Amino acid sequence: MAEKEIEEKVYKSIIKTIKDVPLEEYYTSGHRTCQGCESALVMRFLAKAAGPRTIVIGATGCMYVANTTYYTTSWVVPWVHTQLGGSGAAALGTAAALRALMRKGKIKQEPINVIAFCGDLGCADMGLSGVSNAMTYDYNLLIILYDNESSANTDIQETSMTPYGAQTSFSRPGKARRIMKRRWKKNVVPIIIAGHRNVKYAATMTPAYPLDAINKIRKALTIGGPTFIHSLDPCPKGWDYDPKFSHELGVLAVETGIWPLYEYVNGEIIYNEPTKSIVEGRMKRKPVKEYLEKQGRFSHFTEEDIEYVQRMVDEMYEEWEIPGVMPIKSINVKISDK
Ligand code: SF4
């Protein structure tokens, strides 16, 4: 498709108000996720945004275990389970098979969405090489990282997506050492866009902003592949809070600046609200304390720990060349005279 044609299609695919969101559900009742699970909302949004001509591929994780228990499933569209690290390969194989079948005239030529979803381990840790490989081809596929910041379905183990200092079953605070998780969370969208020239669209989202999330999924599917979305999903079980605060925590993650909302399209970074207002200086970020103190996983934090996280987030907006996105503080081009 020509660039102009894609732009027109993307424009037409955008849903303007929440009242215009399709009523049809393709991820429906019957799943067994925890009360207040925001990852279940991601599944609902992706199915709603994509519609019935869609194949969904799910790596092992909460959204596999909870959605396909004992011969039942909440998926109304075709759904495939793949191994924990297999979503990149499975998405690539499915998209390539559809293209070959259409080319040979075995199935009708029509747009069929291929969406693979994977959690922290399945996408950002052991599955990253497969996802990276899928991003180097030109097949139409979307990979969604649903990030609940732990290996939640096997009892909240630490992953590379677990935030600094958070308690997990692998990082309990001890007497000798209060902070057991000392590594900073991996920044996946910049890895994808910096390392894969073929990627046509990438974005961050959180289900607390439903229209933003649904439209990002629709844009990715309309632009074609390969495309990638990283969603931050509050998880009552792993983050240790009352399920009624799921939405509030998603909003706080964005308003404190911990989770910036942006899109990468045609080589440009486009900030989405309210991150846009934060970056342009029209909105003040809320203190990270408001986000951290609502979660039991940070209950061992001292004022010093909170200040450390605040300093790290301040740096993202005050010192990075691309605020909230790339940890590059300056570009200094030196030409060697040797
Ligand atoms: S453990 Fe977390 S991600 Fe998994 S189903 Fe429960 S709330 Fe959802």
Question: What was the pLDDT predicted at 82?
Answer: 93
pLDDT at 334 over 70: yes
Q: What residues pair up with 56 in beta bridges, in sequence order?
A: 79, 115
Residue 107 CA to residue 206 CA, distance in Å, equals 36
Q: Nearest 10 degrees: CA dihedral of 101, 107, 109, 115?
A: -70
Burial status of residue 56 (CB atoms within 10 A of its CB: 0-12, 13-18, 19 or more):
buried
Mean pLDDT of 200-229: 96
Q: What is the 3-state secondary structure (H, E, C) of 47-101?
A: HHHHCCCEEEEEECCHHHHCCCCCCCCCECCCEEEECCCCHHHHHHHHHHHHHHH
- H or E stretch at 221: helix 210-223
How much is the mean pLDDT over the chain?
Answer: 94
Angle between helices 38-50 and 210-223 (to 10 degrees): 50
Enter the tokens of residue 151.
């290996």
Instruction: Give the closest residue to 30 by CA, choosing from 83, 82, 68.
Output: 68
Give the pLDDT of residue 108: 95
User: Is residue 215 scored above 70 in pLDDT?
Assistant: yes
Q: Considering only CA atoms, which residue is closest to atom 3 of ligand 1?
A: 235
Q: Which atom of ligand 1 is nearest to the CA of 119?
A: 3
HSE on the CB side for 267, CA within 13 Å?
A: 1
CA of 67: how far to CAs of 155, 173, 231, in Å?
17, 32, 18
Q: Give the binding-site residues of ligand 1, using a 6 Å CB cut-off.
A: 33-34, 37, 39, 62, 66, 148, 152-153, 235-238
- Is the pTM value of this prediction over 0.85? yes
- Decide if pLDDT at 6 tops 90: no
Instruction: Answer yes or no: is pLDDT of 337 > 80.
Output: no
| Better-predicted residue by pLDDT, 66 or 115 | 115
Q: Which of 32, 35, 37, 41 to probe ligand 1 with, by most ligand atoms within 8 A of CB?
A: 37
Distance CA 213, CA 207 (A): 6
Q: What is the DSSP letter of 322?
A: B
- Judged against a pLDDT cut of 80, whether residue 14 lies above it is answered with yes
Q: Is the pLDDT of residue 325 over 70?
A: yes
CA distances from 111 to 15, 58, 142, 221 (A): 19, 20, 13, 10
Span from the CA of 37 to the centroid of ligand 1 (angstroms): 5
Tell me the pairing of strands 54-59 and 79-82.
Answer: parallel
Question: Could you give the CA distance from residue 144 to residue 42 in angstroms, rounded to a whole number?
Answer: 9
Q: Tell how far the Cα of 208 is from the centroid of ligand 1, in angstroms.
A: 16
Mean pLDDT on 68-94: 92
Rounded CA-CA distance 9/49 in Å is 14
Q: Let me know if 326 is exposed, middle or buried by CB neighbors in 10 A (0-12, 13-18, 19+).
A: middle
Q: What is the pLDDT of residue 211?
A: 96
> What is the 70 CA–ligand 1 centroid distance (Å)?
18
Ligand 1 centroid, distance to 41 Cα (angstroms) = 11
Which residues are CB-contacts of 75 (< 8 A; sequence separation ≥ 6)?
A: 26, 27, 47, 56, 67, 68
For the CA of 236, the closest atom of ligand 1 is: 7
Q: Is the pLDDT of residue 1 over 70?
A: no
CA of 142 to the centre of ligand 1 (A): 22
Beta-bridge partner residues of 161: none
One-letter amino acid for residue 255 of the chain: E
**What pLDDT score does 167 carry?**
97
Exposed/middle/buried for residue 200 (C-beta within 10 Å: 0-12, 13-18, 19+): buried
Give the H or E element holding residue 263: strand 262-265
